[in-house]
Structure 1
Amino acid sequence: MAMLDQARAPRALRNILLTGAALPLLVAAPARAQDASPQAAAEEEILVTGIRETLRTSIDVKKRETAIVDALSTDEIGDLPALSVGQAIQTITGATTHREKGDASEIALRGLGPFLSNSTFNGREATNGSGDRSVNFNQFPSELVNNIKIYKSQQADLVEGGVAGTIDIGTLRPLDFGKMRVQGEIKANYSPYQDKVTGSSAWGWRGTLSYVDQFKLGGLGEVGIALGAQRNSTNNPEETMAGSSTWVACNGNVTVINNNCREVTQPEVAAGTPFYLVPNSIAWRQISEVDRRDAIFGAVQWAFSDRVELNVDAQYSDRTFVENRRDFNISEMRRSLTNVVFDDNHVLRSFDGSSSFESTASNLERAEEYLGVGANLRLDFGDRFTLNLDGAYSRTIRTEIERQVRLRTDAFDVNGVRTAVNNQRIPYRYEVLPGNFAPTITIDPRFDITNHDLFWDDARTRRDESRRQNEIWGFRADGTYRLDGFISSVKVGARWAEQTFADYDVRNELNLNPAMSEDRRINQLCRTQFPQTGFLDAAEGNTITRWATFDPICLMREYAGSEDPGLPAELRSPLNRDVTERTLAGYVMAEYQSELGGTPIRGNVGLRVVNTQLTSIGLRSAFTVVNNPDGTISLTPTPGTFDTVTLEAQTTRFLPSVNAIFELEPNRLLLRAAVYRAMSRPAPSALGAGRNFSLDVNGTTIEDAINEIRATGSPSLKPLMSWNGDIALEYYPNRDSIFAATIYFKEFGGGFMPFVTNEEFVIGGQTVSVPVIQTTNSPDKSQLWGVEVTLANRFSWLSKPLDGFGGKISYNYADTNFESPDIRLGDTLNPVTGAITPGIIPPASLNGYSKHVLSAQLYYEMGGFSIQGIYNYRSQYYQDFVGGNSQNRYVRDNQTVDLRVSYNVNRNISLRAEATNITDEPKVTDMPVPGSIRQYHYYGPRYFLGARFRL
């Protein structure tokens, strides 16, 4: 199992053992459930609700599907046992989540990253503000969703894409629901970490209202409507330490004073030169946040007759959050490193250094708007032929504005008095003590980081604005012809889709050097008290607990002359991406049923053909050199020098699939087999044609300043293809029980690896040839195999009142030799010769790949009372940065424990209490090798208390 932090190991082991303690009961349950008493059999006629109903419905969905499917389904709105769709999905076998802001966001299936999955909403592709193809499930309230299906094996009529599988979120069809329902729910939530923030409320709330009804229209048939809305107003407290996103390998034999450490070369490493890994900077960040989300869902189901039906649905979500950030930066982590100690994995354990210190104040606002609309028309032509026509539109717009002001240290304080250190750069010591993942920083005792007078020099204001817009238009037609005999039906269909992704990322920056008297005035005017108590007190080893902080809006107003300087006049930039992807696909699929040696067999066989055309537009510009007051330089695009570069690519892929189900014991014991070819496309943001200049903060010449140039994407990237095989055995002793085990295998036809090519840029009037780092498809093949197991049972075989217990446990193990080299320090491919130059650090694996994923649930229901505990564990995984072309980042093992309690006062009113992350688990990431701490986040637990009514 991947590494567990020593400090967290006892807690993790305890949680795993507690989960495992329920295993004997779960294993024994199916066998004993076969001998159910007549009383238990009679229970089948009793209306089942709550957690038991959800698990029973999910088992039934899995049994009926032809492909290998796991589901979470309920007949009622608002009964999914989770606070968000992401939390709900991670209870499904083989599914796990990546946590952002303390909640489940993007989903990984079978230990494979989100980019290997395909996500759909009511069977249609959905957009994302992150720039990848996964869905931010935080956007959708679980109270307005009633079924989630995960297709582990492919079949030809599914939307193309998804080596790991396809996640489909479904909303209610009002006619199928069949009854009138008005439902409302109000929840209060409490965040203990927010209670540590001075002057803010730790309380938030969410309110949900839905209405479902059906109406007879006489000669026009019957229509059903479903409407739902939610307002969620909360906060997401966060405490974090983070290193920069660029790390270098420093020569362990060379000590450099008053300058940066010298980077080691690949030939030096090959010759045995020791080296260690270090970030450019490191920062402690305190965050106060206000978060609001409004969501509206609607559906109309109109049955004109038994042969004609129209379904229209729409989803809208508008989420806005505002963060006030207070950072303390050690901005020159590579400078003057002495007494360096590092281990055999090149991970820093301790050193002495000196650096400028910075207090940076920021205000970040993000608004994300999602809109999805779809319409489906079903036409039955007699009893044999059905035609489905479907059109859909999905759009996500994410806008982010950050206003930031940096203040640095100097040899003098803001009053002109020489400091005790007598230098801009402050001596400090860095240590990672045994048992801790938080580095211990010991600062020269002559320097007090809480003293506002010491932060005033080299003032810099920045206003960054980014905007990402992702749109998908899609149309499809599916025809089904039913037959008698071995072939029960034939489906033929076609799909056309156009996806666009466009963004800009622009900056207004001022580097200032006013008179000291002006600095003094602003410093005194904009000071604030450190806004939190107990900062990172849960991070063992941390010594940075408070520092001098300032009001970012005040600083921006006084230094820049306006609280918001606004957008620059020129929005065009070499960073910008403009990607258009057009897809044309067609398929044919036959469903069959027969017997083989007396054993019923059914399934489908099909072929899907997918043609993809890509157009990526980028900008190239000359650059002007700007000399900053602090002696460094920066580069800005020269106005009027933009040239457009258009890059095009095209692929055609054939995706055959076969699914077979052998009913070894009808309705009880099923053997499933699937063989299929699958594809996963690169993220739209990874297909951009832009260029990003990374500058060294200490560079004083063009050669020194250009640290590297990275492409903002690689339009030539091809889809990741795989051949797949699955074998599953499923045993259903009764409606509340399942034992399922699946073995699966995947062979990938090439992964991704970096390559470097020289490009010419005009900088300061001179033509400079600079290496540009990009990503391309690897020529290597790799394999993955895994096994997943699901065990669920209601303990009806126990005597009362213990028969109210039930549970589910699922586990996925996967192993792969897939490699993702680090883009700066890993293997590189020569695009001309095809030769591979070995890197100096090991490669990562698949993005999002975890070897172990475990989910366990234990519940008790009796009368109107229910309680449920959910434990989720995920072992270490590699997480790529959105857009790719970044260094390798690893998320350490993580686990969560959630609790839910509800009580039905009567058939109309129920009370609910919920708690998430009750063990206060942080998220810890390493870079660019495991064990090299880059970042840790603390979110804390959250508590919810609410009431729901139904009419």
Structure 2
Amino acid sequence: MGKPATAERSARMRAWLMGSAALSLLAAAQATAQEQTPPEPAPAEEEEVVISGIRETLRTSIDVKKRETAIVDALSTDEIGDLPALSVGEAIQTITGATTHREKGGASEIALRGLGPFLSNATFNGRDATNGSGDRSVNFNQFPSELINNIKIYKTQQADLVEGGVAGTIDIGTLRPLDFGKMRVQGEIKANYSPYQDKVIGSSAWGWRGTLSYVDQYELGGLGELGIAIGVQRNSTNNPEETVAGSSTWTACNATVIAAGNCTPITAAQANAGTPYFLAPNSMAWRQISETDQRDAVFGAIQWKFSDRVELNIDGQYSDRTFVENRRDLNISEMRNGLTNVVYDENGVIQKMNGLSAIESTASNLARSEEYLGGGANLRWQASDRLTLALDGSYSRTIRTEIERQVRLRTDPFDMNGNRNFFSTAPFASSNMRVPYTYEVKSGNYAPTITFDPRFDPNNHALFWDDARPRRDESERRNEIWGVRLDADYKLDGFISNIAIGGRWAEQTFRDFDVRNEITVNPPGPPGAGREDARINLLCRTQFPQTGFLEQARGNTITSWATFDPLCLMREYTGSEDPGRPAEMRSSANRDVTEQTLAGYVMAEYAGDLGAMPVRGNFGVRVVNTKVTSIGLRSAFDVVPAPGGAVRLQPTGDFETVTLKGETTRVLPSINAIFELQPNRLLLRAAAYRAMSRPAPSALGAGRSFTLDTSGTTIEDAIAEIRANGSPALKPLMSWNGDLALEYYPNRDSLFSATLYFKEFSGGFMLVQNDEQFTIGGQQVTVPVIQTANSPDKSQLWGVEITLANRFSWLPKPLDGFGGKLSYNYADTNFENEDLLLGEIFNPATGVTTPRIVPPAGLSGFSKHVVSAQLYYQLGGFSIQGIYNYRSNYYQDFVGGNTQLRYVRDNETFDLRASYDVNRNLSLRFEATNILDAPKITDMPVQGSIRQYHYYGPRYFIGARVRL
């Protein structure tokens, strides 16, 4: 966290935020008693014409922003399938202040105003949505944009949002068939082409996606009107990837100690006393991925108006996405071993070194399935001319399962035929199997340069046969939300025009498990051509599956290596391509979290005049109570003697169930005011509110993760580390917020807006060390456990966002078909996140703080600069649009909570979309994504220390849409 703010300054800031908006409210109330001066009539709108396509989408989005009371940015269209993107995530990143994190070449989680996904609230038709990651963000890449009609981002909060978020609320909306008002049958087919996939041997670079939707309305006589809408989509494609990456754990090595084995970790005291150190990963891997990806989605809605006073809306969404990856890895598995001649900079970033490591060829087959099911029913009854009641029930569920079958083959002092390798002169029984290499990162390069001893050939299959390790990993994340909401709305006469009151009950559960079935095959005796492992090596060899591997990564020197078929290896070593789960599914790291929320709100809408200036808005308060129950397991251990006087800990298989609980109640006031400086043209908006963002469900776990040390001579030494995988006692991150926005609407196609915003955070996060009791060898042993807790510090964030949209109607024909939108967001903060291994740790029992070794990061997902630019041209039935997005570097948290700091470097994308309406029924379409061919590059645990280079390549789509 940042430097603590004084209580006096915090109080002044809250008083200013709430007081300034309250003054505007009181002024407007007093103005209602004054003699009214009629406002000047609004300037005449331009001649109304029927518009469609890109221009219609931007115009509708401007209309939504203008009408809303809160500060809102939107992407909206009245038509089906007209959002300018392939997925909801890519659509959202065109909205002012919104940016995305990209996975598999597509947009996934969203950050608002430089604030990470965990600070936003995501809803589907106003209801909370689940995901498969374990946090509260939504994988927007899961949903096809063709079946979505509007996306709203509430930048400021109002009481009827019930919960909301510190950064804002993202609401995805689907079509209501009666409001659509016409029958429509629409089908669209697209072929997609990936040039990168052409480099993968034996695979097709082509895929496809097809969408079909139907909307209609029916008169039911005395039963009113019924509207139905249904849309289905199948997306079958591939998302090829290639990467070079360091491990997720890095060590600060003492540069003054030269160790024959692993480097010696530096202590925090040594580092802060000035002892030099360098930052080394545990391992590094080059990975080639061949993938197939299929997504099926079904969205449906029923709108039934029984009468003018009673309406029922039912909607449902289903998405099932499955991808299968075949991975081929070359691993330098001991990046901390035998390090000499290390050259590093003032931040400990290695620039060059020599090392000794076993080299591994690892073949994997990874299958992931993510299924989303959501929906709800809303019954709305206009009980009288003034009173309206609404009852809403909802359900959302995401299940993500992942199975990886992997076999590792390692180098040995001998090749598989019994020939001694150049790098070993020791007898066969020796474990000396390490290959000399040089590691270097040159300025301007994207990837490290690796130079092996020239006598070692990584493409020689015969070198990879030892220590075979078949491994099967399976994980499941199950996130489920049930919710019920009741709202009452009562119209009044006078300054207060409306009173709304309501409440919501919800229960969210998050459960996960990660299990491993693993054996290590290391048969005794010298290798030879007649051995079983030699037979398997020959049987399961494959050609390196790609040409031009990592040719875009400046500095890369590894372009191929010996590869094997993972399922062949698994079958030959274990007798089955899938050996199944282990007998014991329980683990002390599993999570079982239940979160119950009870929230209520009251909100008043007002409208009046301040002199001749209309003023409107709302004010209200939310009260949110949250109860968390988290169930965890504690494993007992036996003490087992090991060679050399060491002791080894072995789980007994007995578990003790531990139930931990937490509860919070938060009061969230809010005020929104709109001053119509020029009616329908120039608006001044002011907002002040308190907001909260709850920790991710996965961060509320009661489990423990154990790292054991096989070289320890005492029980305490045998436990290298115990870390909590969450804390049910974590409280929401709270903030006081103020927004001031000026919006100018010269015409329906144009907008200029500038917003200044400020946030003061409290209840951030810090690392603490607590003593806990564990049963080891039948005795109670006290062991320190590190976990995340709330910090008492305060920090601030301020920012400005600017939007400019215009159709260039002032240009001569045919140039008046041009138009565009430009948005920019700048933010700055002193919020701090510590590295879990190398950061500052506080011990509440002793009051001692262990100083940090590496500097802290800011907010997860925080980018100082976010730019989105769109330029379109529309003439008759032809339209073309270019979309550019830029995001400056940001810290990306690992799901489940902060571990080691990971930074994503600046990135930019450019997408292109074009369409031609042959007639009113047929439209031809072309789309291209990631035209700039931009990779994703990450650093760890400090900026400038390259951890990963990740490349996807561009994709192209061509298709046709038919409307009837």
Query: If the TM-score is normalised by the length of the shorter chain, which range does it land in?
Result: over 0.9
Distance verdict in 2 for CA 1:762–1:441, change over 3 Å: farther
Whether 2:448 is the aligned partner of 1:442: answer: no
Q: Superposition pairs for residues 19-30 of structure 1, below 5 Å?
A: none
Q: 1:880 — aligned with what? A: 893
How far off is 1:130 after superposition?
Answer: 0.5
Using the TM superposition, name which of 846-855 and 693-702 deviates more. 693-702
Whether 2:867 is the aligned partner of 1:867: answer: no
Whether 2:286 is the aligned partner of 1:284: answer: yes
Q: 2:173 — aligned with what? A: 170
Structure 1 counterpart of 2:400, one-letter code? R
Whether 2:605 is the aligned partner of 1:602: answer: no
Whether 2:260 is the aligned partner of 1:251: answer: no
Which digits, 9 at most, give the CA deviation of each residue in 1:48-106, with x for residues without a partner? 00000000000000000000000000000100000110000000000000000000000
Which digits, 9 at most, give the CA deviation of each residue in 1:487-514, with x for residues without a partner? 0000000100000000111111111123
Paired residue for 2:956, among 938, 943, 949?
A: 943
Q: 1:430 — aligned with what? A: 439
Gaps of 5+ in 1: 1-39
**TM-score, normalized by length of structure 2?**
0.92
How far off is 1:832 after superposition?
Answer: 2.5
How far off is 1:708 after superposition?
Answer: 2.4
CA distance in 2, matches of 1:388, 1:338: 71
CA distance in 1, matches of 2:817, 2:837: 56
How far off is 1:173 after superposition?
Answer: 0.3
Given that 2:637 and 2:775 are in contact with CA atoms closer than 8 Å, whether structure 1 keeps it comes out as yes
Given that 1:78 and 1:146 are in contact with CA atoms closer than 8 Å, whether structure 2 keeps it comes out as yes
Structure 2 counterpart of 1:860, one-letter code? Y
CA distance in 2, matches of 1:800, 1:442: 61
Whether 2:144 is the aligned partner of 1:135: answer: no
Q: 1:26 — aligned with what? A: none
Structure 2 counterpart of 1:526, one-letter code? C
Whether 2:202 is the aligned partner of 1:199: answer: yes
How far off is 1:829 after superposition?
Answer: 1.5
How far off is 1:810 after superposition?
Answer: 0.1
Structure 1 counterpart of 2:445, one-letter code? N
Q: 1:22 — aligned with what? A: none
Which digits, 9 at most, give the CA deviation of each residue in 1:461-503, with x for residues without a partner? 1111101110000000010000010000000001000000001
Distance verdict in 2 for CA 1:869–1:647, change over 3 Å: same
How far off is 1:765 after superposition?
Answer: 6.2
Given that 2:911 and 2:927 are in contact with CA atoms closer than 8 Å, whether structure 1 keeps it comes out as yes
CA distance in 2, matches of 1:650, 1:367: 34
Which digits, 9 at most, give the CA deviation of each residue in 1:604-624, with x for residues without a partner? 000000000000000011235
Q: Aligned residues, how many?
A: 910
Whether 2:573 is the aligned partner of 1:571: answer: no
Given that 1:897 and 1:919 are in contact with CA atoms closer than 8 Å, whether structure 2 keeps it comes out as yes
Structure 1 counterpart of 2:931, one-letter code? I
Q: 2:82 — aligned with what? A: 79
Given that 2:303 and 2:313 are in contact with CA atoms closer than 8 Å, whether structure 1 keeps it comes out as yes
Q: 2:160 — aligned with what? A: 157
Q: 2:556 — aligned with what? A: 542
Structure 2 counterpart of 1:83, one-letter code? L
Distance verdict in 2 for CA 1:706–1:535, change over 3 Å: farther
Q: 1:612 — aligned with what? A: 626
CA distance in 2, matches of 1:440, 1:765: 51
Which digits, 9 at most, give the CA deviation of each residue in 1:409-447, with x for residues without a partner? 110111111111114000000000121121000111111
Q: 2:119 — aligned with what? A: 116
Q: 2:806 — aligned with what? A: 793
Q: 2:216 — aligned with what? A: 213
Given that 2:162 and 2:622 are in contact with CA atoms closer than 8 Å, whether structure 1 keeps it comes out as no
Q: Superposition pairs for residues 108-507 of structure 1, below 5 Å?
A: 108-257=111-260, 259-422=261-424, 423-507=432-516
How far off is 1:627 after superposition?
Answer: 10
Whether 2:61 is the aligned partner of 1:52: answer: no
How far off is 1:271 after superposition?
Answer: 1.5
CA distance in 2, matches of 1:290, 1:768: 49
CA distance in 2, matches of 1:909, 1:901: 14
Q: 1:62 — aligned with what? A: 65
Structure 1 counterpart of 2:623, one-letter code? V
Given that 1:161 and 1:681 are in contact with CA atoms closer than 8 Å, whether structure 2 keeps it comes out as no
CA distance in 2, matches of 1:924, 1:756: 33
How far off is 1:161 after superposition?
Answer: 3.4
Cα RMSD (Å): 1.9
Structure 2 counterpart of 1:775, one-letter code? T
Gaps of 5+ in 2: 1-42, 425-431
CA distance in 1, matches of 2:826, 2:646: 50
Given that 2:162 and 2:601 are in contact with CA atoms closer than 8 Å, whether structure 1 keeps it comes out as no
Whether 2:97 is the aligned partner of 1:88: answer: no
Q: 2:823 — aligned with what? A: 810
SS of the residue 1:638 aligns to: strand
CA distance in 2, matches of 1:705, 1:201: 51
Distance verdict in 2 for CA 1:265–1:144, change over 3 Å: same
Whether 2:585 is the aligned partner of 1:583: answer: no
CA distance in 2, matches of 1:566, 1:633: 31
CA distance in 1, matches of 2:368, 2:680: 50
Q: 2:27 — aligned with what? A: none
Q: 2:545 — aligned with what? A: 531
Q: Superposition pairs for residues 503-522 of structure 1, below 5 Å?
A: 503-514=512-523, 516=527, 517-522=531-536
CA distance in 1, matches of 2:637, 2:92: 47
Which digits, 9 at most, give the CA deviation of each residue in 1:583-638, with x for residues without a partner? 00000000000111221000000000000000000001123579999x99986632
**TM-score, normalized by length of structure 1?**
0.94
How far off is 1:132 after superposition?
Answer: 0.5
Q: 2:784 — aligned with what? A: 771
How far off is 1:919 after superposition?
Answer: 1.1
Whether 2:730 is the aligned partner of 1:717: answer: yes
CA distance in 2, matches of 1:780, 1:931: 28
Using the TM superposition, name which of 48-57 and 243-252 deviates more. 243-252
Given that 2:541 and 2:565 are in contact with CA atoms closer than 8 Å, whether structure 1 keeps it comes out as yes
Given that 1:319 and 1:369 are in contact with CA atoms closer than 8 Å, whether structure 2 keeps it comes out as yes
SS of the residue 1:175 aligns to: helix
Given that 1:124 and 1:159 are in contact with CA atoms closer than 8 Å, whether structure 2 keeps it comes out as no
CA distance in 2, matches of 1:633, 1:520: 35
Using the TM superposition, name which of 294-303 and 819-828 deviates more. 819-828
Using the TM superposition, name which of 86-95 and 876-885 deviates more. 876-885
SS of the residue 2:159 aligns to: coil
CA distance in 2, matches of 1:687, 1:199: 45
CA distance in 1, matches of 2:522, 2:714: 20
How far off is 1:743 after superposition?
Answer: 0.1
Given that 1:405 and 1:461 are in contact with CA atoms closer than 8 Å, whether structure 2 keeps it comes out as yes
Q: Superposition pairs for residues 667-686 of structure 1, below 5 Å?
A: 667-686=680-699
How far off is 1:269 after superposition?
Answer: 1.4
Given that 1:712 and 1:885 are in contact with CA atoms closer than 8 Å, whether structure 2 keeps it comes out as no
Q: 1:15 — aligned with what? A: none
Distance verdict in 2 for CA 1:42–1:488, change over 3 Å: closer
CA distance in 2, matches of 1:709, 1:140: 38
Given that 2:268 and 2:852 are in contact with CA atoms closer than 8 Å, whether structure 1 keeps it comes out as yes
Given that 1:472 and 1:499 are in contact with CA atoms closer than 8 Å, whether structure 2 keeps it comes out as yes
Which digits, 9 at most, give the CA deviation of each residue in 1:202-245, with x for residues without a partner? 11100000000000000000000000000000011000111111
CA distance in 1, matches of 2:692, 2:227: 37
Given that 2:731 and 2:763 are in contact with CA atoms closer than 8 Å, whether structure 1 keeps it comes out as no
Whether 2:761 is the aligned partner of 1:748: answer: yes
Structure 1 counterpart of 2:59, one-letter code? R
Paired residue for 2:849, among 822, 836, 844?
A: 836
How far off is 1:715 after superposition?
Answer: 1.4
CA distance in 1, matches of 2:562, 2:801: 51
Given that 2:272 and 2:851 are in contact with CA atoms closer than 8 Å, whether structure 1 keeps it comes out as no
Structure 1 counterpart of 2:68, one-letter code? E
Structure 2 counterpart of 1:722, one-letter code? S
Using the TM superposition, name which of 577-586 and 263-272 deviates more. 263-272
How far off is 1:527 after superposition?
Answer: 0.7
